[in-house]
């Protein structure tokens, strides 16, 4: 789970300095800012979900699941918290070394047919373990003509790099959030 706190910076622009007292302790403003942060993030994840799968496999709608897990969970007079309640998201933002939770290896799909499925979801007789000298073993299907088709490679760990697109650019994020703050200020008497 990842939590993002949205704080009003102390080095505010000239306009914001004039209204600094109203900004510093304003629960309505922070609720509006938090809501804008949530909407901005959800919109970004929706856009990411429209991209095709990098490996050409069918889509599992990972980013739609991240979007659904995103919500403003609290706001106060000085801060708003937007939570992305999906543990997988942290690996997208920071990168990660992924190891098996149970068992000895990760089953990395090699085909569209295998993508989004656990090996245990296959018919027991469908997958055969094929050891390979000096290489990781594979799980493969063997058809009636004895043709072997690798479905998974078995690895002890996988290192995934950080996805530079996992979060919107700082500029884009703050542009949307500050637009909402601007609308709030327009409604205030200064």
The pLDDT tens digits for 23-50 are: 566 788 888 889 999 999 999 999 999 9
Tell whether 88 and 176 lie within a shared domain: yes
Tell whether 86 and 171 lie within a shared domain: yes
- Domain count of the chain? 2
CA distance 179 to 149: 53
Tell whether 90 and 46 lie within a shared domain: yes
Q: Which two tokens stand for residue 37?
A: 């942060």
The set of residues, in sequence order, having a beta carbon less than 8 Å from that of 127 and lying 6+ positions away, is 119, 139, 140, 141, 151, 152
Instruction: Domain of residue 9: give its range.
Output: 2-94+162-187
pLDDT attached to residue 10: 54
CA distance 44 to 66: 10
pLDDT attached to residue 182: 81
The DSSP bridge pattern shows strands 2-7 and 135-142 to be unpaired
pLDDT attached to residue 46: 97
The pLDDT tens digits for 125-178 are: 889 999 999 999 999 999 888 899 999 999 999 999 999 999 999 888 988 888
Tell whether 73 and 14 lie within a shared domain: yes
């Amino acid at each position: 789970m990842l939590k993002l706190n949205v704080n009003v910076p102390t080095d505010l622009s000239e306009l914001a300095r004039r209204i600094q007292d109203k900004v510093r302790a304003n629960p309505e403003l922070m609720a509006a800012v938090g809501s804008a942060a949530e909407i901005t993030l959800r919109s970004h994840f929706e856009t990411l979900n429209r991209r095709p799968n990098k490996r050409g496999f069918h889509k599992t709608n990972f980013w739609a699941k991240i979007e659904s897990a995103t919500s403003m969970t609290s706001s106060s007079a000085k801060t708003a918290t937007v939570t992305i309640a999906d543990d997988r998201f942290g690996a997208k933002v920071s990168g990660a070394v992924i190891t098996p939770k149970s068992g000895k290896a990760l089953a990395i799909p090699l085909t569209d047919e295998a993508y989004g499925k656990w090996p245990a979801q296959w018919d027991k007789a469908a997958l055969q373990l094929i050891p390979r000298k000096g290489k990781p073993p594979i799980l493969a299907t063997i058809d009636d003509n004895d043709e072997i088709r690798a479905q998974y490679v078995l690895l002890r760990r996988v290192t995934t790099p950080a996805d530079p697109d996992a979060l919107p650019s700082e500029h884009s994020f703050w542009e949307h959030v500050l637009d909402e703050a601007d609308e709030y200020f327009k409604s205030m008497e200064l």
